[in-house]
Amino acid sequence: MEAEVDKLELMFQRSDSDLDYIQYRLKYELKTNHPDSADLELSPLTEEEKTVIEQLKSHITDL
């Protein structure tokens, strides 16, 4: 059982790392290809998005 949990934890860590890389690449692409819009900020999360995040966090409390 513990091996499965460790495997899932590694999968989540990899996914988190992948998302960080994607975020970096998107920011880089925006700065490179659209310098006039590079200073724009993302809009704040909606209440629905915040709820989804909280639900996900409650399922992965160990991370």
Question: Average pLDDT for residues 6-29, to the nearest whole number?
Answer: 91
What would the pLDDT profile of 23-44 be if each residue is shown by its tens digit? 999 888 888 887 776 566 778 8
Mean pLDDT of the chain: 84
- Using only C-alpha atoms, the chain has a radius of gyration, in whole angstroms, of 16
Domain residue ranges in the chain? 2-59
pLDDT at 33: 85
DSSP assignment string, 18-59: HHHHHHHHHHHHHHHH-GGGTTPPPPPPPHHHHHHHHHHHHH
If phi > 0 it is left, if psi is from -120 to 50 it is alpha, else beta; for residue 45 that is beta
Confidence (pTM): 0.52
